[in-house]
Chain A
């Protein structure tokens, strides 16, 4: 269930108020995405990857640079 869109506190008019309203709207939209049910395939994929790695073993620290 999505939240009711409410007028954000703060500025009541002008560009700042428009941005605040837009930001609140985007937050609700993103939250609606977050709340969507996740396909179970992702969890299963992680389970499979973990099982596969249990046979080999892996480290966890490194450069921090994304692939």
Chain B
């Protein structure tokens, strides 16, 4: 049986990745992770062993993020400065450019749409689980995900056809855009 500390350690990369997706202010990202660790540790007695620690931690992080926004009333400051995506390019230059493009467009989505898209698309959570994390109805989550996907696709299409464009997808182009 792993300890609570081991569980937290194993979750740190995904926790920080969720923070990166939630908040594009690079200074705030590590604050989010640190505060989540502190709150989770202080409240570990409220965690039911055997339940989903990932959902529990993501909920803590999300609650803290929204509380900070409300408390400091500085959404623009928290969410408006994009840190560079520090990924190794290697031989995947078109993919890297595409991901930077995607990151920029993702950050421009309303936070309510961005968080549910990440949780559903890559977090591995069901709509029901995301509804619980976000404390709202399943239908609301589904419509937010649909709007987020549609907006992202609209924003990403229309650029030059690049090497990362899906074959047969004339309306969707994933390549770097000149701004």
Residues of A bordering B, CB below 8 Å: 1-5, 7, 12-13, 17-19, 21-23, 25-30, 32-36, 38-39, 41-43, 45-46, 49-50, 53, 58-67
Contact = CB atoms under 8 A, between A and B. Distances in A.
B17 A30 contact: yes
Contacts of B76: none
A53 B40 CA distance: 14
A46 B174 contact: no
A1 B92 contact: yes
B85 A32 contact: yes
B46 A1 contact: no
Contacts of B63: 66-67
Question: Secondary structure of the B side of the interface?
Answer: helix
A39 B41 CA distance: 18
B168 A26 contact: no
Contacts of B152: 22
Given A33-B16, A65-B46, A22 B149 contact: yes
Contacts of B171: 18
Contacts of A46: 5, 8-9, 37, 41
